[in-house]
Structure 1
C-alpha cells in the first residue's frame, strides 16, 4: 500500500522551558512557550539528509525531499519538509484519539522531564473544535537537539487568495470565510498563534470550501496582535475580487480603523450581513462544542499546565449566546454494509437486520447532486424455544413492509414511526398470546432503526440495541440511551453508581412483543448531517463492555477516513467483538456519509 504524504516541521526547542511532572503545577510554562524563545536550527543539528532517508529512529517516515541547511539558513526557526508515512493505517499514533485513553506526555522518571514537544499542544487543544480548519497532528517527538511535528499535508489545497480572486466565489462564501477566520483568531489568542492567520500563504481552502490553515506557525510570537491586523488582510482579499460585497468592504474598514475591536460584535456584524442579503443561511444561536467554562488545556492532561486557565471567558470561545452561521449541506457520497455472527457461546443467531439503499444521482457540466432514501433495521431477539429469532424476524419483516407501503418522499414524523413500531410489537405480542407463552418464554426483540433522507436522518429504538455516531470533530457519540433498569433509575435521580449496583440494572424495561402496545415507549432522535459522518447500528454483542469506545481509533475512525473499506471495517468490528466479548450474537450495520456545503441553494445577490 502506498504511503501517505505528510509534512514534517522541525523545531529547535532545546532552550525552551522544561516541563516538570504534573505535581509541579507550574503556571509559567505556557507563557514561556508562547514567547519568542525558539532558537534557530543549526545546520549541524539537522545536517544534510537525502530523499528516501528515514526521519526519526522509529523508521516510519521517509523524506520525499532532501534537507540541507547551510550558513545562510541560520535564522530559520522551523524547517518544513514533505515526508511519506509508510504506516498510514497505524492509528495508534493518532495523538488526538490517544489523548482520550492515555496521557499525552511520557515522563522520564529519572529526570522528570517531558519528551513530548511543547509546540504540539495547540494542535491537540484546538483539533476537536476546529478540524478541518486546523490541520491534524499525526505524530510528534523530540530528537536530541530539536523536535519533530508530523502534520497533515495540505500542499495540494489551493491558496485562499487564489479562490478569492475567482469571480464565481459565492457572496455568502465570503461572509462564511471571514466568520471562520474570526473564530480561529479568537481561539488562537490563547496560544499566541494569531500570526498564522496573517500569513496569506498559510491560508488555504479545502474541497468543502472551508478556510483552513496549512500549519500553526511556530513564531515569531507577539502579544500585541489586534483585530485591525486581520482587517488589513480582509481588505486585501476584498480588493482582489470585483464581486466583493459592499457591506463586507465597509466592515473590513471598520475593523481596520478599530471601530470594531470586540470579537462578539464582529461575529454579530457578519451574521447580520448574511441575514440582510437573505442568502439562504441557517443562522441561529447554537451551543458551542466547547463548554463556556471549559479549560481546553486542562482537558488535555498536560503535566505542568494545570494552573493555566484558558477558559472561554479568556479566549473568547463561543458561548451559548454567540451568533453562529451554518451553511446548507448536500450529500456527496453514501456507503453501507452489514454483518451478523452467532458469537462464541451461542448455538444459534437471534439477531436479524435489513438494509435498503436507494441512491439517485444527477450530474451536469456545472452541478452534481446525490439524494438518498435508505432504511436500516437491526433487531436482537430473546425468548425460549427459538422465540428470539422468530421475534426479530417478525419485527424486521413488519417494519420493512410498512416502510415499503407508507414511506414516500420525506422522513416519517414521530407519529408515523410510533405507529409502525406499534404494528411490529402487535404482531409479536399476538403470536405470544396464540402460543400461550408466559414468563421468560415470551418472545421479544430489541429494535434500532435508522432512516436516512439526503442530509437528514431519524433513529427509533426500543431496548438496548444502539446507534452510534462518529465524526472527526466530535468523535464517537452514543445517540440512543438503553431502555434498562439502570437508566430508568438515573432518570429518577438516582446516582449512576447506585443505579448500576442493582442486580437487575441491565434488565430491559422496553422490548417489542412481550406486552401490548399501551406499555411501549419507543425513543426517537432526528439528526442533521453537517459534516462527514459514520453511523453505526449494533446489538449488545458489539457494544458491551465499552468495546467501541475503547477501540474507536483503530476500528471506527479508519472507516470514516477512508483508510479502511467499509466491508472490511464491519468485518473487523465483528472479529473484535468475538475476540473481546463473544458471549452473545453480534450484528453491526455501518453507514458512511460524505457531505459538503451546498452553494446551489444560496441565492445570488
Structure 2
C-alpha cells in the first residue's frame, strides 16, 4: 500500500501527507530538508475518551443525527488601537449509513506583546493550526480508526509554539499568545488551552467554565484568597504565567467533553470574561436568536461595560437534525 508511516504513532498516512492524520506530527519526507525531525512527539494515552474502540453500525444508528451552528465576532474594544486577537473556524460534516456527524476545529487566540508582536503571534498560531487542519479534517472524515484529538491538538500547538518562538527570537520580538481550541468529532469535543482565554459549556440549565486560567488571579481564587468578583477587578488581572511562543516548550492542558443536543461551547478571549460576569454571558447566549446574534450581543455587552480589551468570541451550538 502506498503509505507514509508516522514515526511517532506508526499510523499509515497517505503518501505525500505533510502531517499525521492520527497524532498530528509533521511527516518528514526528507530529513535533510528542515527541522521537522525534531518536532515534538506525543505518546498515545488510552485513557482519553476519544481513543475508545470504533463503534459498530447499530450503535451509530441509535444516536441522533447532529449538526452544528456557529457564530463568531471580534472587536478592538474602546481603549485599544489595534486588535491582537485572532480566530479560526473550520467546519465539516460526515454522513454514512444514514448517520450525520459534524467535525470542526475552532480557535481563539489573544496575542501578547508590543510593536505588533501580539497580533503577529496570534496570527501565526491560527495560521499554523489551519495549515495542519487542512489535512486533518479530510482524514477525520475518511478514517475508520478512532482519532486521538488530544494528541493532535497537543502536537499541533507545540509545533506552533516552536515556530513562534524561533521567529520572535530571530526578529527580536518579545511576544506570545494564548490559545483555546476545540476539536469537534460528532458529540465528542476535545478542548485544549494555554493562557487565560476560556471555553465555557452552556446549556439551558447552566454555564460551566471548562478551562482553568493560567493566571496569577486564578491561582489566588483557587487558594481562596480572593473571590471571583475580586479577581475581575484585581490590578494584576492580566498577569498570566503560561503562553504560546514565549518559551521553547509549552504545556497544553486538555479536557474531553461529550456534548448533548442543545449544548453550546463558547470560546472567548479575556476581553469578554474580564468585562462581564458568567451569569450575564449565560443569559445573553440563551436569549439570542442564533449563535451569530449571541456573539454580537456578547461583544456589545463587553464594550458597554468598558471595552478595556480586544474581545473575540466563537459560539458552537450542537443541534439534533
The TM-score normalised by the length of structure 2 is 0.72
Indicate the residue corresponding to 1:352 in structure 2. Answer: 86
Assess if the C-alpha contact under 8 Å between 1:331 and 1:454 holds in 2. no
Listed one character per residue, the Cα deviations across residues 194-226 of structure 1 (whole Å, up to 9, x for unaligned) are xxxxxxxxxxxxxxxxxxxxxxxxxxxxxxxxx
| Structure 2 CA distance for aligned equivalents of residues 494 and 542 of structure 1 | 23
Indicate the residue corresponding to 1:134 in structure 2. Answer: none
Indicate the residue corresponding to 1:384 in structure 2. Answer: 114
Indicate the residue corresponding to 1:539 in structure 2. Answer: 269
Indicate the residue corresponding to 2:99 in structure 1. Answer: 369
Match of 1:420 among 147, 153, 156: 156
What is the Cα deviation at residue 456 of structure 1?
Answer: 0.6
Q: For the structure 1 residues 536 and 348, does the alpha-carbon distance in structure 2 shift closer, same or farther, using more than 3 Å as the test?
A: same
Q: How does 1:538-557 map to 2 (within 5 A)?
A: 538-553=268-283, 555-557=284-286
What is the Cα deviation at residue 515 of structure 1?
Answer: 1.0
Say whether 1:477 aligns with 2:202.
no
| Structure 2 CA distance for aligned equivalents of residues 482 and 472 of structure 1 | 24
Say whether 1:343 aligns with 2:77.
yes
Match of 1:436 among 172, 196, 205: 172
Listed one character per residue, the Cα deviations across residues 324-354 of structure 1 (whole Å, up to 9, x for unaligned) are xxx9643433111211111111111111111
What is the Cα deviation at residue 490 of structure 1?
Answer: 5.4
| Structure 2 CA distance for aligned equivalents of residues 497 and 558 of structure 1 | 28
| Structure 1 CA distance for aligned equivalents of residues 90 and 136 of structure 2 | 15
What is the Cα deviation at residue 579 of structure 1?
Answer: 1.0
Q: For the structure 1 residues 425 and 342, does the alpha-carbon distance in structure 2 shift closer, same or farther, using more than 3 Å as the test?
A: same
1:507 partner SS = coil
| Structure 2 CA distance for aligned equivalents of residues 478 and 401 of structure 1 | 28
1:549 partner SS = helix
User: What RMSD over aligned residues (CA atoms) do the two structures have, in Å?
Assistant: 2.7
What is the Cα deviation at residue 385 of structure 1?
Answer: 0.6
What is the Cα deviation at residue 521 of structure 1?
Answer: 1.7
Q: How does 1:184-583 map to 2 (within 5 A)?
A: 329-361=63-95, 368-406=98-136, 408-409=139-140, 410-437=146-173, 442-473=174-205, 475-489=206-220, 493=223, 495-497=225-227, 504=236, 506-517=238-249, 520-553=250-283, 555-559=284-288, 564-583=289-308
| Structure 2 CA distance for aligned equivalents of residues 582 and 566 of structure 1 | 21
| Structure 1 CA distance for aligned equivalents of residues 70 and 122 of structure 2 | 21
Assess if the C-alpha contact under 8 Å between 1:391 and 1:428 holds in 2. yes
Indicate the residue corresponding to 2:17 in structure 1. Answer: none
| Structure 2 CA distance for aligned equivalents of residues 490 and 570 of structure 1 | 27
Indicate the residue corresponding to 1:305 in structure 2. Answer: none
| Structure 1 CA distance for aligned equivalents of residues 294 and 135 of structure 2 | 33
| Structure 2 CA distance for aligned equivalents of residues 376 and 361 of structure 1 | 21
Number of residue pairs matched by the alignment: 255
Say which one has the larger Rg.
1
1:347 partner SS = coil
What is the Cα deviation at residue 368 of structure 1?
Answer: 4.7
Listed one character per residue, the Cα deviations across residues 501-544 of structure 1 (whole Å, up to 9, x for unaligned) are 98545410110111111xx2221110101342111111111111
Indicate the residue corresponding to 1:587 in structure 2. Answer: 312
Assess if the C-alpha contact under 8 Å between 1:465 and 1:538 holds in 2. yes
Instruction: Report 1 or 2 for greater relative contact order, CA contacts < 8 Å, sequence distance ≥ 6.
Output: 2
| Structure 1 CA distance for aligned equivalents of residues 153 and 182 of structure 2 | 11
Assess if the C-alpha contact under 8 Å between 2:149 and 2:183 holds in 1. no
Q: For the structure 1 residues 333 and 508, does the alpha-carbon distance in structure 2 shift closer, same or farther, using more than 3 Å as the test?
A: same
The TM-score normalised by the length of structure 1 is 0.39
| Structure 2 CA distance for aligned equivalents of residues 375 and 527 of structure 1 | 15
2:64 partner SS = strand
Q: For the structure 1 residues 502 and 590, does the alpha-carbon distance in structure 2 shift closer, same or farther, using more than 3 Å as the test?
A: closer
